[in-house]
Structure 1
Amino acid sequence: MVYLTRRVTFSAAHRLWSNQLSEEENYHIYDKCANPNGHGHNYILEVTVQGMPDPHTGMVINLTEMKQIINEQVVKWVDHKHLNHDVPWLEGTIPTAEILAIKFWERLEHAFPSDMLYEVTLHETENNVATYRGQA
């Protein structure tokens, strides 16, 4: 099995806040990330697919096609957006790196050929990274 990863970057703002928690609990849990106006990140998204290279092309998937899928399903929706307000398919979520990795997976899994998507990794900062491989 060959694993092929495409890396893209985007910038977005978000606010970490749960309506199920009190204001005090939100600030205790999310600290400065609960800022009422939000804050931004320069995210790095890595999407990994799996498969065997096609004997005629030598590719698991054409990287141009992979780039197009990632841009259409995720990047065009989130780049330079406020994730809490501007992205309909994130409505009602707390846009942590963990939740974003899951939501990005959900957008991508049906856009790639069956069972090709292997892993979605989101770097929120150089120190905070979330990886999702779908439900077991």
Structure 2
Amino acid sequence: MTENRVAVFRKENFNAAHRLHNPDWSDEKNARIFGKCNNPHYHGHNYDLIVQVTGAVDPETGYVFDMKILSDLIKEQVLDRFDHKNLNLDTREFRNLNPSAENIAIVIYKLLRDKIDTTLDLKIRLYETERNFVEYPVH
């Protein structure tokens, strides 16, 4: 008998400022590579976050994962930590890590992964703009 695997999704959003900058590079190289995203006074995004959890449907609850618990986890682990923050200055996660959309998605994944049963697959989709988004992990 095959198991009934279903993906469930929770969408949230948060606002954060950041600056893309590599301290090992010259100001000129940073400006050339990162453009406006290297503004020394930072810039912000309205991020849309989609957290996907995939697994078997529990025959007793009918759930893959309790969405209230997922909502609470995202609030505690992500929103409370990053919303209305300057990622470079206000968070320990990005003090020494360039806060690109790719790195933000990986950090969010790591913050949530150990809070969700490993029998369930976890995927993060992060929209930095309406047209630019990243996913992690990629299988």
TM-score between both structures, scaled by the size of structure 1 = 0.95
**Greater Rg over alpha carbons, structure:** 2
Residue number among 49, 54, 58 corresponding to 2:53 in the alignment: 49
Deviation of residue 63 (structure 1)? Answer: 0.5
Runs of 4+ that moved beyond 3 A: none
State the partner residue of 1:39: 43
| Structure 2 residue 124 is matched with structure 1 residue 120 | yes
Taking the aligned partners of 2:119 and 2:90, their CA distance within structure 1 comes to 30
Q: Percent identity?
A: 39
**Aligned runs of 1:1-136 on 2, under 5 Å?**
1-133=5-137
Taking the aligned partners of 1:71 and 1:96, their CA distance within structure 2 comes to 21
Give unpaired runs (5+ residues) of structure 2: none
What SS does the aligned partner of 2:16 have?
A: strand
Which AA in structure 1 matches 2:111? R
Give unpaired runs (5+ residues) of structure 1: none
What SS does the aligned partner of 2:104 have?
A: helix
Taking the aligned partners of 1:118 and 1:110, their CA distance within structure 2 comes to 10
> Deviation digits for residues 79-134 of structure 1, max 9, x if unmatched?
00000011112220110000101111111100111242421010000111010017
Instruction: Give the length in aligned residue pairs.
Output: 135
Over the aligned positions, Cα root-mean-square deviation in angstroms equals: 1.2
TM-score between both structures, scaled by the size of structure 2 = 0.93
